[in-house]
Amino acid sequence: MPAHEPHSHRGTEPTSGTRYQGSRAGAYFSPRTWLLPLLVLLLLGGAGSALYIGGLGSPESNLNHLPVAVVNRDQGAETPSGQENFGENITSTMEADFAKTDKIELRPLSWDEAQHQLRTGQVFAAVVVEEDFSEAAVSLVSSSLTDGAASRPEIMLYTNPLASPLASELAADAVEPALQQASISLGEQLEDTARQAQGAATERQSAELAEAGVPAQVQEQLAPKIDGTSAEVLRNPIQITEGAFQKPPNGAALGMGAFFYSVLLMVVGLSGSVTLHFLVDSRVGVLPVELGARYVLGPKLLPARWSVFLLKWGIAVLAGLPTAGLMMWVANAVGMPLPHGGWFFFSTWLSIVTVSAVTFALITIFGSAGMVLSLIYVVFMGLPAATGVVPLETLPGFFAFIARGEPLYQMTIANKAILYYDAEASAGLQAGLIGMGVIILIAVVLGLLFSVLYDRIRGVREAAADVGDAAARTA
């Protein structure tokens, strides 16, 4: 058989020797045969449950400085006691109240600043006091004593589902009780003002009617009164209107499309790397691979570990280019909007390259156990920390700590910035691309370092032994 051609092995059955047969049969019942697979399954099941369920199970209990903007656009209004700005009073009270806890980080911003942070996913909600807030509140008092029409003072609560649908809801849920309390507090002020205005108007009218000779009983009937409907409105005067600042476009999976696409890239990068690992090792004679009925093992080339690491990762780097193009084409064909195609192609390719670098590095350093560690590190630790479902501000501290070292986190923030935030650098594109580059650098350096070290300590690894010899040595 030519040395450069892969060859197939057929297991040779022993023709004699009860000791060999007994050793071979005993291998099936040895604890080493079934105990290690059991331990691996237990490790994956336990670690996966603890990390995934533990990370995502209780986001509302882990709120920590969830960013929410507060904007006071109120122009103020003239009241009997002077110029008043009820919006400023409300926002100042909210800032003081939320400063007492670590759950919400209330950011006082201008309207332009708030819109920018909403568009770039830096805040998950915004409380906006409208320009005519004080004027509407004052007119509400006047209309309660007359037949004049008036509108309720309004506060807009903008959610940001593109940043995170769940975080937006959590932010809204946390802010709404404060707004309701603000409405009640303002209502008490307006009721006091209305009673004072009612008393003053009654005295003035009574004096005028008395001069005209109107009986006191008639004066009482004509006195201005706050009816039941007006009183109810005054007790809870603020109209809180909630709505999305930007609705997710069609095909964006309600704002989670970037995360789903990043998870797909993670799966392709991880499973593709494991497949490449077996195929390349088979080709260079390190490990056999079975293709249906074929048992294939290439010539024993005795490759250095560092050269095999670079060969595998190099194939992934090159193969990632057409793979990224195909994935984008299919995603677009099924309805996913793909703005900024150049940036998105680069981010897609870099995501595959990042996951492959980490996977090959772990396999090079830990051998076959590296595949299990890749699942734990890239998948089980990466999914909760990716900020695709819940942001870092709603995760246990452990995941917020490891997030920036997780490929999926960097992939998600970069892809989200491209898809939803006009590829703006400050929205996560710059941080995500740099983060993936740093992870690649660390993985490649560690993979090469350990592979060279192993070759020097143990020598260049040998190809897999013949099947018959391997069976004879099995305990």
Question: Which residues span the domain enclosing 129?
Answer: 60-244
Is residue 361 assigned to a domain? yes
For position 194, what pLDDT does the model report? 61
Tokens of 422: 């006009």
How far is 253 from 255, CA to CA, in rounded Å?
Answer: 5
87/209 same-domain check: yes
Q: How far apart are the first and last CA of the chain?
A: 32
Instruction: Mark whether 416 and 368 lie in a shared domain.
Output: yes
Task: Examine the domain organization and report whether 439 and 316 are in the same domain.
Answer: yes
Do 404 and 267 fall into the same domain? yes
The answer as to whether 15 is a domain residue is no
Run of H or E including 84? strand 82-84
If asked whether residues 221 and 169 sit together in one domain, one would say: yes
DSSP per-residue codes, 303-342: --HHHHHHHHHHHHHHHHHHHHHHHHHHHHHTT----SHH
Judge if 194 and 279 occupy the same domain: no
Q: Greatest CA span in the chain, whole angstroms?
A: 135
Residue partners of 278: CB distance under 8 A and separation at least 6: 287, 289
Backbone torsions φ then ψ of 225, nearest 5 degrees: -135, 155
Q: Which residue has the tokens 């024993």?
A: 300
Q: Per the domain annotation, does 389 fall within a domain? A: yes
Question: Is 46 exposed, middle or buried (CB count within 10 Å of its CB: 0-12, 13-18, 19+)?
Answer: exposed
DSSP 64: -
Determine, yes or no, domain membership for 18: no
Which among 219, 244, 269 is the end of a domain? Answer: 244
CA atoms 278, 282, 286, 287: torsion sign? positive
Where would I find the H helices in 124-256?
A: 133-145, 165-211, 216-222, 228-235
In a domain, 6, yes or no: no
- Rounded Cα distance, 180 and 465, in Å: 75
* pLDDT per residue of the chain (475 residues) written in tens, 0 to 9: 444 444 444 444 444 444 445 556 667 777 777 787 888 889 888 888 888 787 777 788 888 899 999 999 999 888 766 788 889 989 988 988 888 888 899 999 999 999 999 999 999 999 999 998 988 888 877 766 555 556 788 999 999 998 888 889 999 999 999 999 888 888 887 777 666 555 544 555 555 545 555 454 444 444 445 554 466 677 788 889 999 998 888 888 888 899 999 999 999 999 999 999 999 988 888 888 887 888 888 788 778 899 999 999 999 999 999 999 999 999 999 989 999 999 999 999 999 999 999 999 999 999 989 999 999 999 999 998 888 888 888 888 888 889 999 999 999 999 999 999 999 999 999 999 999 999 999 999 999 999 999 988 877 665 444 443 443 344 4
